[in-house]
Chains A and B, each alone.
Chain A
Amino acid sequence: DTGVSQDPRHKITKRGQNVTFRCDPISEHNRLYWYRQTLGQGPEFLTYFQNEAQLEKSRLLSDRFSAERPKGSFSTLEIQRTEQGDSAMYLCASSPGQGRLNTEAFFGQGTRLTVV
């Protein structure tokens, strides 16, 4: 399977704990995005990487959130001191960096986070 892969698919954690999610984008895509989706809403942009550089962060990304893409391949999203409001589906997407295809994002299956 050559699509976007996310791990884990589901995570239940206690409030105050740290969690880390992983995303493996489509191999030839140099652009990687993280989105968050809450119930009844469409996905909302969190952050963007071009290769290993994190070029943009949304105001939704509080200082408890940090994302990395150390070698320009896979990416991790860490949430520190989780709060119940962090419960959501975290989606990773990637896109190629060329032409009109740059605007087409392909999503992974998501990581469903539940903070109890």
Chain B
Amino acid sequence: GQQLNQSPQSMFIQEGEDVSMNCTSSSIFNTWLWYKQDPGEGPVLLIALYKAGELTSNGRLTAQFGITRKDSFLNISASIPSDVGIYFCAAPAYSGAGSYQLTFGKGTKLSVIP
């Protein structure tokens, strides 16, 4: 089946630093989604990307849809303590029954040191 490979698995950064993480696949996707999940909560959609090469921002977050359509990148600028959590990339695959099943990566766990 389709797999999304996220890196790094985890990272520890100082408050105020910028963060970069990425997601790659052997398959081509037409949409990339980035979610954040806090402990004990469901994932929250941060950014959706629909076009190869697209760069989209949401506050301090910027995500890019790779030109090859097989990868995506998420950057967080000037990190703050509330950025702590697990960041997942996800890509929908049309199943033929009208549904878009999301395939998720294993996540990048971000820890911010005050």
Residues of A within 8 A of B (CB): 4, 6, 31, 33, 35, 40-45, 48, 50, 55-56, 91, 93, 95, 100, 102-110, 112
Contacts and interface: CB of A to CB of B under 8 A. Distances in A.
B76 interface: no
Contact of A107 (B42, B101, B107): B42
Interface in B96-114: 97-107
Contacts of B101: 33, 45, 48, 56
Interface of B: 4, 31, 33, 35, 40-45, 48, 50, 88, 90, 92, 95, 97-107
Contact of B41 (A45, A100, A110): A110
A110 B42 contact: yes
B104 A91 contact: no
A41 B43 contact: no
Choose among A35, A41, A103 the residue with the greatest number of B CB atoms under 10 Å from its CB: A103
B97 to A, nearest CB: 4
Contact of A42 (B98, B99, B107): B107
A92 to B, nearest CB: 8
27 contacts: A31-B98, A33-B99, A35-B102, A41-B107, A42-B105, A42-B106, A43-B43, A48-B95, A48-B99, A50-B99, A55-B97, A55-B98, A56-B97, A91-B42, A100-B31, A100-B48, A100-B50, A103-B31, A103-B100, A104-B48, A105-B92, A107-B35, A107-B45, A109-B41, A109-B42, A110-B40, A110-B42
Given A108-B42, A110-B42, A55 B99 contact: yes
Nearest to B107: A42
Choose among B4, B35, B90, B101 the residue with the greatest number of A CB atoms under 10 Å from its CB: B101
Given A45-B103, A50-B97, A55-B97, 6 more contacts: A4-B42, A42-B106, A42-B107, A50-B99, A103-B100, A108-B42
